[in-house]
């Protein structure tokens, strides 16, 4: 295995010079630099990351903690992180918490995360109070993407406004009796996001002077299947039923849409459905939604982390992400309107 001193010897310089030259540091003459580059290339030299980590104390790796990797928001976000990292020579170390909060270890203080990464990007998830404590204790740049965590810099949309916007869209269309399908609190995927979205929904309804029957609230777990399930329960309701449903995610909305049509409801003529997210499949299915871009959010968060690592103190800070109402084909005025 060719090491740095092989290169040094071959180029007739010292290892220190090789190190500087290869890392693009100043204080190397152009001539020596190009010579070193050439011989390094010729010898097929690849620096040992282990050695440079040990010597420099930097890992050039950022950790990504996610509750799921095979769900829309998280997949999109991870793609964004990766995009920013690679190309700048940083590595991405992925830690999947597996969603369920109970059996997971206290990762933040464990060897896995600790000492293996220079910075940490957390994807929106439920956190135990003691985990949040651990989080505050780790001494490295840290940002969360997707939802607010107490006292930690966050990049994400305004969930309250998203829910309110989409609900108001329905109200403007003339709906007076609107159902809600939200992510259950006891499901550990999220934390405050579901709750905040529910508040936006409630406020929109109340500000319009409408009432919300307790039979109009359904629970799901953000999956399509849970949307289907919720719609089955909805159809079991005695008439007159709500004429529209607000879903806390596009995936659930899709399930609702499928099941509604399966049961013979015409959407949007008989029944309107909306989601939140901007899922591609929702787009193709014609789902009205509030769009957001998890990839862009993750890229923003990653760039903050990198800037902080580059010495730019205060680079990491909370920032609101873009969102947009997209009206498509699953919303219309209610039937009797």
Partner DNA sequence: TTGAAAGCGCTAACAC
Partner DNA sequence: GTGTTAGCGCTTTCAA
Q: Which of 10, 45, 246, 306 binds DNA (CB under 7 A)?
A: 45
The token duo for 307 is 């800037």
- Per-residue binding letters, 281-320, with a copy of itself (x by CB under 8 A): x-xxxx--------x-------------------------
Sign of the Cα torsion 148, 152, 157, 160 reads positive
Q: Which of 20, 71, 241, 279 binds DNA (CB under 7 A)?
A: 20
Nearest alpha-carbon partner for 177 in 264, 238, 249: 238
- For position 17 contacting DNA by CB under 7 A, the verdict is yes
Q: Which does 3 bind (CB under 5 to 8 A by kind): DNA, a copy of itself, none?
A: DNA
Regarding beta strands 288-292 and 323-326, do their DSSP bridges make them parallel or antiparallel, or are they unpaired? antiparallel
Distance CA 170, CA 24 (A): 57
- # of chain residues touching a copy of itself (CB under 8 A): 57
- Per-residue binding letters, 107-136, with a copy of itself (x by CB under 8 A): ---xxx-xxx--------------------
**Least CB distance to a copy of itself at residue 301 (A):** 16
Q: Mark the segment that binds a copy of itself (CB under 8 A) among 5-13, 125-133, 155-163, 280-288.
A: 280-288
Q: Which does 111 bind (CB under 5 to 8 A by kind): a copy of itself, DNA, none?
A: a copy of itself
Q: Which does 128 bind (CB under 5 to 8 A by kind): a copy of itself, DNA, none?
A: none
The token duo for 17 is 């010079």
Q: Which of 43, 52, 325, 333 binds DNA (CB under 7 A)?
A: 52
- For position 5 contacting DNA by CB under 7 A, the verdict is yes
Distance CA 94, CA 19 (A): 29
The token duo for 110 is 């464990």
- For position 281 contacting DNA by CB under 7 A, the verdict is no
- For position 223 contacting a copy of itself by CB under 8 A, the verdict is yes
Q: Which does 31 bind (CB under 5 to 8 A by kind): a copy of itself, DNA, none?
A: DNA
Burial class (CB in 10 A: 0-12, 13-18, 19+), 137: exposed
**Least CB distance to a copy of itself at residue 80 (A):** 9
Instruction: Compare residues 285 and 305 and give the one whose CB is closer to a copy of itself.
Output: 285
- For position 137 contacting a copy of itself by CB under 8 A, the verdict is no
Q: Which of 48, 213, 233, 269 binds a copy of itself (CB under 8 A)?
A: 48
Q: Which chain residues interact with a copy of itself by CB under 8 A?
A: 46-51, 53-54, 57, 59, 61, 68-72, 74-76, 78-79, 82-83, 86, 89, 91-96, 98, 110-112, 114-116, 223-225, 227-228, 251, 254-255, 258-259, 262, 280-281, 283-286, 295, 329
Footprint of DNA (CB under 7 A)? 1, 3-5, 12-17, 19-20, 22-23, 26-29, 31-33, 45, 47-48, 50-52, 54-58
């Amino acid at each position: 295995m060719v090491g740095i001193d092989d290169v040094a010897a071959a180029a007739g310089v010292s290892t220190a010079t090789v190190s500087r030259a290869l890392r693009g540091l100043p204080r190397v003459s152009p001539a020596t630099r190009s010579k070193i580059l050439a011989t390094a290339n010729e010898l097929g030299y690849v620096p040992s990351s282990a050695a440079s980590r040990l010597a420099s104390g930097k890992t050039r790796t950022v950790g990504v903690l996610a509750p799921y990797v095979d769900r829309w928001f998280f997949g999109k976000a991870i793609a964004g992180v990766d995009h920013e990292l690679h190309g700048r020579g940083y590595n991405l170390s992925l830690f999947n918490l597996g969603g369920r909060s109970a059996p997971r270890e206290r990762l933040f203080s464990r060897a896995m995360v600790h000492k293996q990464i220079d910075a940490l990007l957390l994807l929106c998830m439920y956190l135990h109070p003691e985990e949040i404590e651990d989080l505050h204790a780790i001494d490295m740049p840290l940002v969360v993407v997707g939802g607010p965590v107490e006292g930690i810099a966050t990049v994400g949309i305004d969930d309250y406004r998203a829910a309110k916007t989409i609900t108001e869209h329905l109200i403007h269309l003339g709906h007076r009796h609107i159902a809600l399908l939200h992510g259950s609190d006891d499901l550990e995927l999220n934390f405050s996001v579901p709750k905040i979205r529910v508040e936006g929904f409630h406020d929109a309804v109340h500000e319009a002077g409408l009432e919300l029957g307790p039979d109009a609230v359904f629970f799901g777990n953000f999956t399509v299947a849970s949307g289907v399930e919720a719609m089955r329960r909805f159809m079991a309701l005695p008439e007159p039923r709500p004429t529209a449903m607000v879903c806390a995610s596009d995936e659930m909305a899709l399930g609702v849409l499928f099941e509604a049509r399966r049961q013979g409801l015409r959407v949007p003529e008989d029944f309107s459905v909306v989601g939140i997210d901007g899922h591609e499949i929702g787009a193709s299915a014609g789902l009205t939604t509030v769009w957001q871009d998890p990839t862009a959010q993750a890229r923003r968060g990653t760039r903050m982390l990198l800037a902080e690592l580059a010495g730019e103190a205060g680079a990491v800070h909370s920032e609101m992400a873009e969102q947009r109402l997209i009206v498509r084909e699953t919303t219309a005025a209610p039937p009797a309107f």
